[in-house]
Amino acid sequence: MTPFTTLTAVAAPLIRDNIDTDAIIPSREMKSTGKTGLAEGLFAPWRYLTPGGRDPNTEFILNQPAYAAAQMILGGNNFGCGSSREHAVWALAEYGIRAVIAPSFAPIFAGNCTRNGIVPVVLPAEVVAEIAADGGPVTVDLEQQRTSLTDGRVWPFEIGAEARAMLLEGLDAIDLTFKHRADIAAFQAADRTARPWIYLGDVPA
């Protein structure tokens, strides 16, 4: 996973409340179990004129030239609600989205973001609207935990320590566990001494 430290990029305003994972990528667009081949289906119900088609809806924000290279999305309340499908985050990541700024996120969706290199930035609705009205590049600084505009306006944001570490270091959940190898080995050694009957011998390599 690519580490995230600081990013300055265009943010596409998609400020609608309760954008669910079926809108982010409908089930008909999930044609594989892998993380690739999903970007074309991102926001398919809004991005294309017909279900299953690929004729672009020119009114949709990501189809507008100013936001064609957007790497951030400005969203509304409860972004990523609905089903827990991780494909929604995979589609965003494959498209090139590295951060979503919204007043609130569905908890499972936010967790999926941090496990796939996307920063879920929580800011008040009025701040999200202010950023959208500016229309210029947005900077998300994960190290300093702040979002800013080129004119100097700055807003701090909170993110959990574990999520922050995963994003900064480019770690998935397994990598994060492996950081505690020494503690795990020490526990196993102590437990083997305390409860030798549990261990039937080393598993062959």
For residues 138 and 8, the answer to whether their CB atoms sit within 8 Å is: yes
Q: Does residue 91 belong to any structural domain of this protein? A: yes
Rounded CA separation 39/76 (Å): 21
Rounded CA separation 74/16 (Å): 9
* 72, pLDDT greater than 60: yes
If one counts the domains in the chain, the total is: 1
CATH of the domain at 139: 3.20.19.10
Tokens of 156: 């701090």
Prediction pTM value: 0.88
Q: Does residue 45 belong to any structural domain of this protein? A: yes
72-74 and 11-13 strand pairing: parallel
Query: What are 31-43's pLDDT values in tens digits?
Result: 877 899 999 999 9
Q: Does residue 130 belong to any structural domain of this protein? A: yes
Q: Does residue 41 belong to any structural domain of this protein? A: yes
The pLDDT confidence band at residue 3, using thresholds 50, 70 and 90, is very high
- pLDDT, average across residues 169-184: 84
Structural domain boundaries, residue 60: 6-171
Contacts of 10 (CB under 8 A, 6+ apart): 66, 67, 69, 70, 71, 72, 137, 138
Q: Does residue 15 belong to any structural domain of this protein? A: yes
The pLDDT confidence band at residue 203, using thresholds 50, 70 and 90, is low
